[in-house]
Amino acid sequence: MTPQNIPTISHIAIIMDGNGRWASINGLSRNKGHEKGTENIQSIVQRVSELKIKFLTIFAFSTENWSRPKLEVSNLMNLLFDSINKQLDYLINENIRVIHIGEKSSLPSHLQKAIYQCEQSTKNNTGLTLNVALNYGGRSEILNSIRKIVSNNNNLSPNQISFEDIEENLYTSGIPDPDLIIRTGGEKRISNFLLWQSAYSEYFFSDVLWPDFTSQDIDKAIDTYFSRQRRFGKV
């Protein structure tokens, strides 16, 4: 492996999939599956923090998830609200910074306030940065970025728009692209997640359902990542 191809890792992103199937297998309601999946986040965050990886992005709720049954969506919103409030002291004590990525205005007002409080309370933390993709969609993110560029530059011609312009107006502006994207639950698709940022990410697909995904599983994904050569289009 040539020096330029030796993998380094500063950002992991996770599509947390399999809560509903975990609940079905265990004879529980889908809401119980989401509860178990939410409880599992802390142990994975802790492991990534221990490994001194600077950025972790988790896919908590997509723009497409609004099409689920209303009761399930309502329960999810309340579960996310409770989780943020319960985890705030832990995040502060562990020096973890939280950044929301996604569209806030469509979220319930109490959840918007909880997100704002969490971001403000952790903004000076210098350890792991935890990006929570909540009401997030990759296509919408790119479209919104272009709209902001045009809105802020009335005299800009299309040919003047650069890659850098788009990146600066993404939710993840200033955050490195993910080196490794993990999807749990056995599905092998990207589900509108970090479409721009994942252009050269490595993927790891795990059959383990998210509520059962452990520190050992994330270590396995990272070990696999380090066995690969990243060429970025080069030889």
CATH number at residue 109: 3.40.1180.10
| Angle between the N-to-C axes of helices 70-93 and 30-50, in degrees from 0 to 180, rounded to the nearest 10 | 30
- Which domain range does residue 216 map to? 10-226
Q: Look at the pTM and tell me if it is higher than 0.85.
A: yes
User: How far apart are the C-alpha atoms of 103 and 140, rounded to whole Å?
Assistant: 9
Give CA–CA dist 122/104, Å, rounded: 18
Place of tokens 């939710």: 171
Mean predicted lDDT score pLDDT of the chain? 94
Q: For residue 16, tell me if it sits in a domain.
A: yes
Domain-embedded: residue 218:
yes
Active site residues: 17, 65
pLDDT at residue 235 greater than cutoff 70: no
State the maximum Cα–Cα separation within the chain, in Å, rounded to a whole number: 59
Q: Could you give the number of structural domains in the chain?
A: 1
Q: Does the pLDDT of residue 14 top 60, yes or no?
A: yes
Q: pLDDT band for position 100 (50/70/90)?
A: very high
